[in-house]
Amino acid sequence: MARAWQSEAADMVEEQIVGRDVRDARILEAFVSVPRHLFVPPEYAGTAYVDRPLPIGERQTISQPYMVAKMTELLLTEPGMKVLEIGTGSGYQSAVLASLGLRVWSVERLESLAMEAQKRLSDLNFDVKVIYGDGRGGFPEEAPYDRIIVTAASPRVEAAWDSQLALNGRLVAPLNVMTGNQRLLVRENLAQGFRNTWYDYCRFVPLLQGTE
């Protein structure tokens, strides 16, 4: 690479993340500490820190840095919390969460991506367990979770996610709202019931059924 990756990551944080509206110092630190270029295929390593999603094989993508930051901010985490991710992909979002001191379980429906992500995360010493499976059912073995983050676009909030979310827990997910449109949903599990709040429009690959 032409420059040290830390310098590219610092510019990414300034221009794409602080430059928009994510200001939480802990989140910004996480983004300079995770080597994003190791989460993309080698041929994209030189463009890993640019302002867009990138292909990671199997017709899937690693999300744009800003979207990872925005969802992490909306998740409102505290160190030590248990987090479930649906849609491991490259493992980058999981790594950002783990570097915030969270304990992460992440479900991926494509076996090759799940295996690659687990190896990458373990090699880099991130505290993340990757599960190969259909994340529409969550991962009941470790429930309840303080936080659930879905990183593929879903037509609905699955009943399994609601039932695996701790009291006062939060879920962040891109939901299909109208033909071709997706929007970030924050869903809180409050004593009086679930409360939904809608945020940015976004574009994610679809949440699909079953495993491959």
By CB under 6 A, name the binding residues for ligand SAH. 60-63, 86-87, 89-90, 92-93, 107-110, 113, 134-136, 151-152, 205, 207-208
Q: How far is the CB of 179 from ligand SAH (least distance, A)?
A: 20
Nearer to ligand SAH, 108 or 146 (CB): 108
Q: Note if the bond before 41 is cis, omega within 30 degrees.
A: no
Rounded Cα–Cα distance for residues 89 and 204 (Å):
12
Q: How far is the CB of 137 from ligand SAH (least distance, A)?
A: 9
Q: How far is the CB of 89 from ligand SAH (least distance, A)?
A: 3
The residues assigned a catalytic role are 63
Nearer to ligand SAH, 168 or 181 (CB): 181
Q: Is 114 exposed, middle or buried (0-12, 13-18, 19+ CB in 10 A)?
A: buried
Rounded Cα–Cα distance for residues 165 and 84 (Å):
9
Instruction: Give the C-alpha distances (Å, rounded to integers) separating 48 from 31, 36, 111, 125.
Output: 13, 6, 23, 20
Which residues, other chains included, contact 30 with Cβ-Cβ below 8 Å and sequence gap of 6+?
72, 96, 99, 100
Nearer to ligand SAH, 163 or 168 (CB): 163
SS3 188: strand
Q: How far is the CB of 41 from ligand SAH (least distance, A)?
A: 12
> Contact at 8 Å (CB) between 117 and 131?
no
Nearer to ligand SAH, 33 or 168 (CB): 33
